[in-house]
Amino acid sequence: MDFYDDKVLVSGSIDGRVNLCDLDSENQSRIYQCQNMQDRKIPIAKIVTSEYGIATVLDIEGNCRLYDMIRLRKLCKISCKSQQKTKQSTSWRMMP
């Protein structure tokens, strides 16, 4: 887990879910759960926030998700797609 500007708490879990908790709102229990239905519930390995309002979440397979900490929403996902059958190098694709 990590904090953005002492206003938003970002936490990740073993089931791949990312929670954005708005600590600055009037309703202190305002939590946004971010998980796409197509995600395979890959455990979160690392969360880093920047002073520019972007949170970066990395899972154990190397997939990276970016979140907007000001609007509390997912920006994009960058995933690695391995071609094990053809022995090609790993390619990267960006999903909006």
Question: Structure pTM?
Answer: 0.75
In which residue are the tokens 């970066």 written?
56
Q: Which domain holds residue 27?
A: 2-95
User: For the segment 34-71, what is each residue's pLDDT rounded down to a tens digit?
Assistant: 765 455 788 999 999 999 999 999 998 888 889 999 88
| pLDDT at residue 87 tops 80 | no
- Total number of domains in the chain: 1
Instruction: Please tell me which residue, 61 or 32, carries the higher pLDDT value.
Output: 61
| Spatial CB neighbours of 75, under 8 Å, sequence gap ≥ 6 | 54, 66, 67, 68
Number of Cβ atoms within 10 Å of the Cβ of 18: 21
